[in-house]
Chain A
């Protein structure tokens, strides 16, 4: 099976702009989670989508949003970019089995805000 894919891999944006990142999960996985990784804050959960519904959201401002399509592909959007949004954005897909699950991560999108 193909792994989780994320596009684009690298992105440079200017403060105040907006950006959309895309994630295609492993075939058959219906859950997609997004994480932000920075040197200062580490890996932090952004939100999770399952069956096109946002199931949980981390402690991020409303500028961060996302959605999931019927084919389980997901996008996240960040509006009014700030310098602090520079980070590696990772998405992960899950095949949920009971209450224990593993997440399979994509390679990430490196966002630089200047």
Chain B
């Protein structure tokens, strides 16, 4: 089963524009992570935000977390064609190192 739902499912923007994708989850968490996946390949870890953090930056990425609404957003600023990929949020569940992934947002950045 999937913990989170991501919105939108697909997003198409022009190079240079900002891209925002949202993730909602169902249960209490101690952290939330965002991953990127280029077509049919492995996932790349982008950023981890802890439950006591509200916002975190990494380069052109900005992640926010609202635990009261059980939601997170990922903002990519000044997008590039190379940012074209699927983006997933993931939350740890259970007592072990198990991630539950959202359904993903397919981002297409047009040159």
Residues of A within 8 A of B (CB): 4, 31, 33, 35, 42-43, 45, 48, 50, 55-56, 58-59, 88, 90, 92, 94, 96, 99-108, 110
- Contact of B92 with A101 in the complex, beta carbons under 8 Å: yes
Given A43-B88, A99-B30, A104–B97 Cβ distance below 8 Å?
Answer: no
In the assembly, what is the distance between CA of A110 and CA of B41, in Å? 9
Main secondary structure of the interface of B (DSSP, over half): strand
- Contact of B97 with A101 in the complex, beta carbons under 8 Å: yes
Chain B interface residue bracket vs A: 20 to 34
B2 within 8 A of A: yes
Which chain A residue shows the least CB distance to B45? Answer: A102
Q: Which of A58, A59, A102 contacts B48 (CB 8 A)?
A: A102
Main secondary structure of the interface of A (DSSP, over half): strand
B59 within 8 A of A: no
- Contact of A33 with B98 in the complex, beta carbons under 8 Å: yes
Residues of B within 8 A of A (CB): 1-2, 30-31, 33, 35, 40-45, 48, 50, 88, 90, 92, 94-101, 103-104
User: For residue A101, which residues in chain B have a CB less than 8 angstroms away from its CB?
Assistant: 92, 97
In the assembly, what is the distance between CA of A33 and CA of B94, in Å? 13
User: 20 A-B pairs, CB-CB below 8 angstroms?
Assistant: A31-B97, A33-B99, A42-B2, A42-B104, A45-B99, A55-B95, A56-B96, A56-B97, A56-B98, A58-B98, A90-B42, A99-B30, A102-B45, A102-B48, A103-B33, A104-B45, A105-B35, A105-B42, A105-B45, A106-B42
Q: Which 4 A-B residue pairs are closest in the complex by CB-CB distance?
A: A56-B96, A43-B101, A55-B96, A105-B42
